[in-house]
Copies of this chain bind each other. A is one copy, B any other.
Amino acid sequence: MFLSRFTNALDVKGRVSVPADFRTVVALDGIKRGDDFDGVIVWPSLEGKWLEGGGMALMRAKQSVLNSLEPHDHSRIAFERAYFGESFRLSFDANGRVSLPKELAEFAGLDKQVTFVGLGERFEIWDADAYSSKAKQVRKLAKESRQALYAKVKLAAEQGSAT
């Protein structure tokens, strides 16, 4: 499970250390599933100017969700293009770094300091400054919407048990 927030430096060669915590997360579920790929998958977020990433396990999960749709479903194909087509397989070097393709770095406005944010089953990669200003809003929003969240969850649970 990806947790916590780490800020690392992007060097002149476009490399950045993936937090050791995150590396062990992907390594562990790699071992569980017998994956040989030692690295992460990263793609541009559909929500805004930052990146999202995860291990192979997450990709498999996405795939199995999409497999439940008709092969020729337009939205299925659109998602496949957006997620799989825009994803990059970034493998770790001997020191646990990955080199970010220019395309991704430009998309998210990454230049010096980058922040990895753990979100449970996936993580986000932000420009450090962009995230630190975002973080304040996030805290406020989370606090304000606690009530609403509780209501939604309750509703979802009721619907879930009804089906």
Chain A residues close to B by CB (< 8 Å): 1-5, 21, 41, 46-47, 56, 59-60, 63, 65-66, 68-69, 72-89, 117-121, 124, 135, 138-139, 141-143, 145-146, 148-149, 152-153, 156-158, 160, 163
In the complex, A77 Cα to B126 Cα: how many Å?
Answer: 15
Instruction: Report yes or no: A142 in contact with B69, Cβ–Cβ below 8 A.
Output: no
Across the interface, name the chain B residue whose C-beta is closest to A21: B89
In the complex, A85 Cα to B85 Cα: how many Å?
Answer: 27
Instruction: Say whether, besides A65-B153, A82-B138, A85-B118, A75 and B5 are in contact (CB < 8 Å).
Output: no
Instruction: Say whether, besides A81-B138, A120-B80, A163-B158, A145 and B2 are in contact (CB < 8 Å).
Output: no
In the complex, A143 Cα to B69 Cα: how many Å?
Answer: 17
In the complex, A163 Cα to B51 Cα: how many Å?
Answer: 38
In the complex, A84 Cα to B2 Cα: how many Å?
Answer: 8
Closest chain B CB from A69 CB (angstroms):
6
Residues of chain B within 8 A (CB-CB) of A118 are 84-85, 87
Residues of chain B within 8 A (CB-CB) of A80 are 119-120
